[in-house]
Every structure is written in structure tokens, then in C-alpha cells.
Amino acid sequence: MKLFRYGSAGNERPGLLDARGVRRDLSGVVGDLTPHTLSPDALARLARLDPSRLPEVDPAERLGPCIGQIGNVIAIGLNYADHAAEAGLPLPQQPIVFSKHTGAVSGPNDDVWLPPGAQKLDWEVELAVVIGQPAWHVPLSDALRVVAGYCLANDVSERAHQIEMEGQWIKGKSYPTHCPLGPWLVTADDIPDPQAVELWLDVNGQPCQRGSTRTMIFGVAHIVSYLSRFMRLAPGDVILTGTPPGVGMGQRPPRFLQVGDVITLGSPVLGEQRQRVVAAPVPAQASGPR
């Protein structure tokens, strides 16, 4: 089952993609796609609906992030063996964990903002995991049972803010529009093996990233179980699981995004995104880091 949210930012409504690819409105059934609608019982009720009885959604409508009211965005760094090789770094012995601010979440086709003075804006296509049930000290064997579904993510990263400034990576990962999610929330029953998902990303039509979750160092089940040892995962939490090779920082010479660039990314099972890079609309009184 593929679920989505549509409408203007902050006023999204829920939808369902039927077997013919027609977008259907779910707002007469549920108010929104939020942590409250991610439980197995809630998703089973949606799966039993007859989509042909639901109103159609105009395909011209904006798509929003495929899940609303996200509690946490947690991410895993350097999680693909071929990406680690590209970066010239040793394989991590444990997952590298960092966060993105939820204010970075945006729709799959919304513009990506270039922060004032930013010179190293980068791209990262990723498989995102959406938690559907509370998870705390979950055994590896049960970890996938707490997953409601999966979606496509672009972990947009300002590398100078991430790496060259003191402090945590979160600074380079959390600018508004730097976490596009969607188009669809693909329920877990439609992706029985999250370690068999192909991913790709192009910039201005030129291939940059081509990879598969098969080359993850730590698989989805391992990541969910591992994180649940340190925090109580909740429905609606989103986990970004790392990126395959081909990021801008790994190019020779490095290549970073500029205003006017167009990023397209996708997966055969997760759908596609398209973003244009624009200058961030910063208030006149705002100032940069000191």
C-alpha cells in the first residue's frame, strides 16, 4: 500500500495510491497520516478499503511529506561499504548516529534552499524507515515488526557546517527543506526485504548516485534494534539509513549544489523526487553564524 499527503504546506490531507496509480483522497476516512495512523490495526483498516470508492485527487496537487507530526528524524552516517571506500574512511564498527531537526522536513518536490553563504551543499539519496509501534530494547529478530513502512529521502547536507565547524553534524543537516520525504509511504508488507532496494540520484540530468541497500554495513533490522538500546523509538519517528556512493563531496574534484540546479532521485519501489535549488528566503534582520 502506498500512502501520501497532499495540499499546501501545513495543510496536507491524506491520500492513497490505487493499483492503477490513481491518487485517492483519504480525508473522509482519517484526518491525516500521523503517528496515530501507523499502527498495524490502523494500516490494516486502510488496506481493506475499496479505493474505487474514494474521491480522486488532482495529480497537479502539491505532495507534502508522506508522514505528518514526525517526532524525531534520526540518521545513520557512513553506512554503505562502497560509500566508505569513496570517502577513504574505514568501515565503522558501530552505527554512526546523528539527528536532523524536524524543521528540515519538506515535500518530495519542494524547492531546496541554499543557506546564505553556503558553498558546500550536497545530496544524499536514502532509504528512510518509518516506525509504527513503540520500540525499546527490541531484539534483532523482532526489529522489522515495529516498522510501519519506508519512503525515499534526500539527506541534504551543508558539508562546511557539518564537518568544518565545531560541534555536532546536526548543524549541517537541519536547514529548512533539507529533508525531503516521499512521495509515498510504502507500507512494510510491500517491501518484505529492505535490503533489496535500488536507489539512484541525478543532478541536472547527470547520473551521480547508483546503489542498493544490499551494500549497507548495518541493515535496517540491525539499525532499529541498535537504536532501541539507547532511546525509546515512537510511532512516527523517521530513520534515515545512509547513502550509497556518488555524493558531491566524494567527486574528484568535489562538486556542490548551486542555485538553479535540479536534483532528481528515486527507487523502483519508493517512487521519485524532484527538487530545484533556490536561494533561501532569509528575513532581512537575520544574521549568519558569528
What average pLDDT score do residues 19-23 get? 97
Per-residue pLDDT of 261-276, as tens digits, reads: 999 999 999 999 999 9
Q: Is the pLDDT of residue 278 over 80?
A: yes
Handedness of CA 34, 126, 210, 187 (dihedral sign): negative
Question: Element (H or E) spanning 224, and its range?
Answer: helix 220-227
Q: Is the pLDDT of residue 289 over 60?
A: no
Q: What is the mean pLDDT of the chain?
A: 95
What average pLDDT score do residues 86-90 get? 82
Bridging pattern class, strands 179-180 and 125-131: unpaired
pLDDT at 135: 97
Query: Which residues have a Cβ under 8 Å from the Cβ of 57 and sit 6 or more positions away?
Result: 6, 15, 23, 24, 25
pLDDT at 283: 80
Question: Element (H or E) spanning 235, and its range?
Answer: none
Residue type for position 127 = L
What average pLDDT score do residues 136-157 get? 98
Task: Tell me which of 34 and 86 has the higher pLDDT.
Answer: 34
Q: Is the pLDDT of residue 284 over 90?
A: no
Domain boundaries, the chain: 67-279
Query: Which residues have a Cβ under 8 Å from the Cβ of 234 and sit 6 or more positions away?
Result: 35, 71, 72, 131, 134, 135
Superfamily of domain 67-279: Fumarylacetoacetase-like, C-terminal domain (3.90.850.10)
Residue type for position 220 = V
Question: pLDDT tier at 288 (50, 70, 90 boundaries)?
Answer: low
